[in-house]
Amino acid sequence: MTYEFKLADLGEGMHEAEIVQWLIDVGDTAKLDQAIAKVETDKAVVELPSPVTGRVSEIRVKDGQTAKVGDVLLVFETSAGSSGDGTPKSSETSAAATSSAPTNMSSVATSSSQSAPSVAARPRIQAAPAVRKLAFELGVDLEQVTPSSASGRVSLEDVRAYAERAGSATSGAQNGTSTAEVASTAATKEEQLAPSTLPVEKKVDQAGTEDQRQPLTGLRKRVAEHMERSWRSIPHATAFDEIDGGALIALRQALKPIAEQRGVRLTYMPLLIKLLIPLLKEFPIFNASLDEEKREIVYKRSYHIGVATDSPEGLLVPVMRNADRLTLMEVAAKLEKLIEGAQKRTLALPEVSGSTFTLNNVGSFGGGSGTPIINYPEAAILAVGRIQEKAIARQGAIIVRPVMPLALSFDHRLIDGAMSGKFLGRFKELVENPQQLMLDMV
């Protein structure tokens, strides 16, 4: 009998995944629960277990290609018998087996023999970033646009035509530019922002040097999409300040040997996270988000701190869940495991999703400072730079002190400049006098 193996609802608002590598080939026989593929979402790389025992007769989604929820990934030829001999598992058995996969990711794949979910995931409109940008600028809902191509991909011309028919083509033009100019700019950027739609090719200039194009795939593609969505959806504003890091350095130096005796590596980040928690409680709007559909502010009562981390494939944000309930040593130990998991791409979904506020230490990779982009849908993100000695004036004298730069980007719909200034001022006070943490310890 034929058994179609489909990509199931991944949860967390994700409706597609990229096949990183098939671990079996056509003609191979897979056993029940055997790992058969590695797939990558914008959250993690996970392994898919086989739902049946059977021979692979067809692989429909190749390595490097992206599949959407409901797409058939491959086809098995199975024989009748018990679930271990080819019969598809029941939904209960399948869920249990999937949850025991190496990544603890539940319900990653399903079969055509299982009943369809009561609420189908909305398919993602096929359109390049430049097309999405033009649609946003013209106020066009892509779901209402009928694609002209047989592939179902919405083009720039489709968006312009829809906007003109709706009589709103000129509403998206900004700063005096015409719709044609906006479209022309978007067309130019389409080549820059959407290389994934182009084949790998080389172009030789007159000097004989070669240009090379390659698809934007994997984590880098998803980071690009996430950054684009955040920048397009949230009106960013950024406030800057500097902190005297002398007291923070002294505190770490005093605690570091004790932490090492307990087998924990103590960096500045656990200290900053613990100093941040009382601040988020004092200014709850910074631990909130905007429900854009209902136009409501959602104040989060949990404190899940995202920590921007560099990985070989791009930026990830592992999440320190319930940081307010952890001791400093627990935060340090957990943070070390999260960073290691992010670099190896082995984190489960709960460890890379659901953050309420993000802290970015640009100093960890040599950055002096920088302007951070908000981790959508959060209300703010704080970036701390590398501590460096700097000459400052104090009581009429020039002295040299270790200075840490700060950059706070915030959603200007929810937070104004005055509030951001108060937030940074209070954070500065806590970091320069970290012993204040003793007053709030539980």
Residues catalogued as catalytic: 412
Query: Which of 408, 425, 436, 404 has the alpha carbon at shortest distance from 244?
Result: 404
Q: Is 384 within 8 Å of 359 (Cβ atoms)?
A: yes
Q: Is 219 within 8 Å of 311 (Cβ atoms)?
A: yes
Rounded-to-integer distance, Cα 13 and Cα 139, Å: 23
Q: Is 115 within 8 Å of 103 (Cβ atoms)?
A: no
DSSP secondary structure code for residue 31 in this structure: P
The DSSP string of 212-277 is: E-----HHHHHHHHHHHHHHHHS-EEEEEEEEE-HHHHHHHHHHHHHHHHTT----HHHHHHHHHH
Burial bucket for residue 165 (CB in 10 Å: 0-12, 13-18, 19+): exposed
Bridge pairing between strands 288-291 and 296-299: antiparallel
Q: Which two tokens stand for residue 136?
A: 């946003």
Name the 3-class secondary structure at 414: coil
Rounded-to-integer distance, Cα 321 and Cα 355, Å: 8
Rounded-to-integer distance, Cα 402 and Cα 370, Å: 18
Rounded-to-integer distance, Cα 370 and Cα 405, Å: 9
Count of Cβ atoms closer than 10 Å to residue 150 Cβ: 6
Rounded-to-integer distance, Cα 227 and Cα 34, Å: 36
Q: Is 302 within 8 Å of 323 (Cβ atoms)?
A: no
Residues sharing a CB contact under 8 Å with residue 116, sequence separation 6 or more, in sequence order: none
Residue 290: beta bridge partners?
Answer: 297
Name the 3-class secondary structure at 125: coil
DSSP secondary structure code for residue 180 in this structure: H
DSSP secondary structure code for residue 425 in this structure: H
